[in-house]
Amino acid sequence: MRAIIIVLDGVGIGALPDAAKFGDTGANTLANTADKVRGLSLPNLQKLGLQEIVDLKTSESVSLTGSYGKMAEKSIGKDTTIGHWEMMGCMINHPFPLYPNGFPKDLIAEFEHRIGTRTLANYSASGTEIIDKLGDEHVRTGYPIVYTSADSVFQIAAHESVIPLEKLYTMCRIAREIFTGEHCVGRIIARPFTGTSWNYKRTPNRHDFGVDPFVPTVLNSINDSGGEVYAIGKINDIFNGNGITRYVYTKSNEEGIEQTINVIKDKAKQSIKQLIFTNLVDFDMLWGHRRNVARFVDGLRYFDTKLGDIMSVMTPDDVLFITADHGCDPTFTKHTDHTREYVPLLVYGEKVIPGVDIGIRPTFADLGATIADVLQVKKVKIGTSFISKIMQGKN
């Protein structure tokens, strides 16, 4: 049997009870987006139960073919790493460090010494705005642009013709060595861009340098059992390669979806224990943070259309899970960062009982526990499986 997880990065479905602590009261990525466009039709997702867990402002009636619910994040945070780790059974009780006022001078000095050049910025900023502001100075001086955000990240922006990709990635590896211990940020991110003055554009050659999860995850259990974890998109970076058997990077949602379809169709792998784990980052990176409602909606509609193709190539033993890692409400005006939200939980497969309300899961780790049951591998310490609710013959 195979399990497939598709993470719609940033597609939340309503503020968590503690959202006010994160400045996210009123956030609801899907409902607010649907309201903004006066109704959102996503027929394939609605058939899996999306309309049952969030108001899409549409009166369309569909017959349910999947099970549905939503999950609350128990870890302290609202970023990509924390969300994905919790899904696979690694809880974060203390958030990764944040640097709203920039990084400590001694760490920046060490970084500059090791890369052999000065840096620009060292403050919290929007990635698109900072290259507009400092792109010309960067091109003139050759100094990399260093900045952070509301997430626990150390980001390095550089023009690809000024600092070639491999040199930029080397700088990121150096930063990863420096930012450890109390300063262990969740991710070091390479942010390459191209273009000319006031027309700089970030490229798809972004690369994340993470850290290993602090405890073994369900991914390790699958590997230990002789199974395979095939990571698509930035999943390999999120887990720092830990527990990943094979991986492929992607440059767009479209490519991520096609890679997912190709892996599902691989007949040589249909008889093994396999987790296909996909992240579709454009909802977050390109549209959510930039508060681009129109493109966000286009992306949802495109995924919904391709979801039909994904389901059509699944085997009778495959189980598909669709979820998210946090919110990134494109209508939110208090800030341009992630939003602390519930995430959807949609399940589909020939052996999945349609129309089952899985309820509100108290932690993302319930997904990992269920994956462990589906693939019959060792569970980790946290998370409660809901397999008995959704699978025929598992009651």
198-232 residue pLDDT tens = 999 999 899 999 999 999 999 999 999 999 999 99
Can you tell me which residue has the tokens 């509609």?
Answer: 301
| Final residue in a domain of this structure, among 209, 243, 261 | 209
Range of the domain at 194: 105-209
| Final residue in a domain of this structure, among 161, 179, 209 | 209
What is the token pair recorded at 321?
Answer: 């899970």
Based on the fold, state whether residues 190 and 221 are members of the same structural domain. Answer: no
Question: What gap in Å lies between CA 204 and CA 100, rounded to an integer?
Answer: 26
> Does 99 reside within a domain?
no
Contact 319, 349 (CB under 8 A): yes
> Does 375 reside within a domain?
yes
Based on the fold, state whether residues 278 and 167 are members of the same structural domain. Answer: no
Number of domains the chain is built from: 2
Based on the fold, state whether residues 87 and 221 are members of the same structural domain. Answer: yes
> Does 33 reside within a domain?
yes
Report the largest interatomic distance among the alpha carbons of the chain, rounded to a whole angstrom: 66
| Final residue in a domain of this structure, among 209, 229, 249 | 209
> Does 83 reside within a domain?
yes
On the 0-12 / 13-18 / 19+ scale of CB atoms within 10 A, 387 is middle
Pick from 95, 112, 94, 237: nearest CA to 175: 112
Based on the fold, state whether residues 272 and 316 are members of the same structural domain. Answer: yes
Based on the fold, state whether residues 240 and 283 are members of the same structural domain. Answer: yes
28-52 residue pLDDT tens = 999 999 999 999 999 999 999 999 9
Based on the fold, state whether residues 334 and 219 are members of the same structural domain. Answer: yes
One digit per residue, pLDDT tens: the chain, 395 residues? Answer: 899 999 999 999 999 999 999 999 999 999 999 999 999 999 999 999 999 999 999 988 899 999 999 999 999 989 999 999 999 999 998 889 999 999 999 999 999 999 999 999 999 998 989 999 999 999 999 999 999 987 899 999 999 999 999 999 999 999 999 999 999 999 999 999 999 999 999 998 999 999 999 999 999 999 999 999 999 999 999 999 999 999 999 999 999 999 999 999 997 777 789 999 999 999 999 999 999 999 999 999 999 999 999 999 999 999 999 999 999 999 999 998 999 999 999 999 999 999 999 999 999 999 999 999 999 999 999 999 999 999 976 65
Based on the fold, state whether residues 272 and 381 are members of the same structural domain. Answer: yes
> Does 100 reside within a domain?
no
